[in-house]
Amino acid sequence: MTTIAVLGNGRVGGSLATALTRAGHEVTVADRSPGSAAHAARTARIVINATPGEGSLERLGALHEELRDKILVDVSNATVDGPDGLPADLLYPGSSLAEQLQESLPETRVVKTLNTMLFSVMTAPATLTQAPSAFLSGEDPQAKQTVRELLIDLGWRNEWITDLGGIRTARATEAAILFVPHVIRSSGFAPFALSIAR
């Protein structure tokens, strides 16, 4: 059992919190009330960023002390949305939200994952008709191993998880968000994920 704080109580944060609780972890979900995020982060070993990506850097940067020596699992994508509300461009072209968070929080171990799929797949990968891929980006091997174990708790098979390397590799997976609006317009909101076929 691990103590986990989920920052963000929308569809992504809510589904992750429910699944991780079901897997036996002690999970706290922070809402938007003053001090909620700080309290949740302070008492957890692992913090999951499921806040909207365009405001994540400011929100989490304010939790510098609370996130010290913690693992921060970043599942958000920082995008500029188009008129239809779907991602139209990257907020940090030539970089990534994960890199910006790691730079802002040097004493926190940031791991990027679960950002290349529709939110429902994060906690139910086996429901797809073919094996999906989950990617890990981060500087700390031990932190990535801990996150890998969390993914396995969520139903991901070890062979579906690919460690891409350092935090800089997150710019590749974050750029994959630009596929999403086109896939949704083509096929609707049916669950999907990127998959590396071998």
Task: Output the DSSP codes for 94-112.
Answer: TS-HHHHHHHH-TTSEEEE
* Model confidence pLDDT, tens digit, residues 124-151: 999 999 999 999 999 999 999 999 999 9
Whether residue 47 is predicted with pLDDT greater than 90 in this model: the reply is yes
Compute the half-sphere exposure of residue 131: CA atoms within 13 Å on the CB side of its CA.
Answer: 12
Q: Say how far apart CA 167 and CA 95 lie, in whole Å.
A: 10
Mean pLDDT of 18-34: 93
Q: Say how far apart CA 83 and CA 45 lie, in whole Å.
A: 39
The confidence band for 14, taking pLDDT boundaries of 50, 70 and 90, is: very high
* Model confidence pLDDT, tens digit, residues 87-131: 999 999 999 999 999 999 999 999 999 999 999 999 999 999 999
The confidence band for 85, taking pLDDT boundaries of 50, 70 and 90, is: confident
Q: Say how far apart CA 118 and CA 2 lie, in whole Å.
A: 25
Whether residue 6 is predicted with pLDDT greater than 80 in this model: the reply is yes
Which pLDDT belongs to residue 188? 87
For the whole prediction, is pTM greater than 0.85?
yes
Whether residue 34 is predicted with pLDDT greater than 80 in this model: the reply is no
Looking only at the bridges linking them, the beta strands covering 71-74 and 109-112 are parallel
Which of 22-36, 66-80, 160-174 has the weakest average pLDDT?
22-36
- Residue 197 one-letter amino acid: A
List CB contacts of 149: < 8 A, sequence separation 6 or more.
none
Q: Which two tokens stand for residue 190?
A: 């049916």
Which pLDDT belongs to residue 3? 98
Q: What is the dihedral of CA 166, 169, 84, 54, to 10 degrees?
A: 30
List CB contacts of 51: < 8 A, sequence separation 6 or more.
7, 8, 13, 59, 60, 76
Q: What element of type H or E holds 12? A: helix 11-22
List CB contacts of 15: < 8 A, sequence separation 6 or more.
119, 120, 122, 123
Q: Read out DSSP for 80-96?
A: EE-TTSSEEEESSTTS-
